[in-house]
Structure 1
């Protein structure tokens, strides 16, 4: 494959990943009522994600890249379970917070790769877009990891039987 073919393929993957993130974030928001700080940050990142999708669409248009393979790529990502949102488990919020942190790291790696690929393929106009998105993803990844202990503590305190931990 040429530099451009690899770049376009990875761009399609990034687009599919963002579409999957949009679905995942929407579901997580619906299921995090008892964790307002987590919910608020997810809502903020959903807005960022939707803007990222728009910016990726602009790169597709400018490069005359077909969106025809995106549905297939999205299906592959969903089947692979990259953004699995756990439901019906008592510790759903903790598992969702972990999944969110992991997914954000995937996005960081993807945009880091796209920056190099865009340069090699000669799409220098896309580099600042990817750098901007990368900063948003890093910020969300850092937030998710930094707040994982808080979410876990809140869950454990809410789920502990009365009197549990009284000895500590």
Structure 2
């Protein structure tokens, strides 16, 4: 595989990641009815994922390539599995936050790699997009870091008031 073919593959990975993130976050948002500020932010990040996926699709197509439907399908299956596994537990609110946190950090790592590859290949537009995505995702990670402890404590207090 050539450098540019590998780069195209990574762009498709990023596209699939954003589509999966959107699907997963839309499902998770429904479970946060009792936490309207969290629900609103999850919905905002979900919308941003669609914007990023659209941008990645445009980048891929402008390079004369097509979006890989197989990677997109595989990503959606992974997202459904992640959603199902956390929804099977009584503490799904806490689990959702943990999955979002780990997924966001994976997204940062993916975009760090994509930015480096783009820079190496002289694709400054893609490097800038990846760096902007890193900044946005780091903000989401920080937001999650602020919410995870408080939601965990609130969950324990609500669910285990008699213990």
Q: TM-score, normalised by structure 2?
A: 0.90
Query: Within the alignment, does 1:143 sit opposite 2:143 as a pair?
Result: yes
Say how many residue pairs are matched.
Answer: 161
Structure of greater relative contact order (alpha carbons < 8 Å, 6+ residues apart): 1
Q: Tell me: CA distance 1:28–1:161, structure 2 relative to 1, closer, same or farther (3 Å).
A: same
Give the greater-gyration-radius structure (CA): 1
Q: List per-residue Cα deviations over 1:66-85 (Å, max 9, x = no partner).
A: 11x2x211333345569712
Q: List per-residue Cα deviations over 1:20-78 (Å, max 9, x = no partner).
A: 000001001111111222212101211211211121122112211211x2x21133334
- Is the contact made by 2:32 and 2:93 (CA closer than 8 Å) also made in structure 1? yes
Of 123-132 and 16-25, deviating more is 123-132
1:132 match: 132
1:157 match: 157
Q: Tell me: CA distance 1:80–1:55, structure 2 relative to 1, closer, same or farther (3 Å).
A: closer
Structure 1 unaligned segments of length 5 or more: list them. none
Q: Higher helix proportion, which one?
A: 2
- Is the contact made by 1:32 and 1:38 (CA closer than 8 Å) also made in structure 2? yes
C-alpha displacement of 1:146: 2.5
Q: Matched residues in 1 for 2:102 and 2:36: separation? A: 21
Of 74-83 and 43-52, deviating more is 74-83
RMSD: 1.8
Q: Matched residues in 2 for 1:91 and 1:99: separation? A: 12
Q: Matched residues in 1 for 2:71 and 2:87: separation? A: 24
Q: List per-residue Cα deviations over 1:92-136 (Å, max 9, x = no partner).
A: 101111000000001000100000111222222211111111111
- Provide the secondary structure at the position in 2 that maps to 1:109: helix
- Is the contact made by 1:21 and 1:83 (CA closer than 8 Å) also made in structure 2? no
Runs of 4+ in 1 over 4 A off after TM superposition: 78-83
Q: Matched residues in 2 for 1:155 and 1:93: separation? A: 8
- Provide the secondary structure at the position in 1 that maps to 2:82: coil
Q: Matched residues in 2 for 1:45 and 1:119: separation? A: 26
Of 73-82 and 35-44, deviating more is 73-82
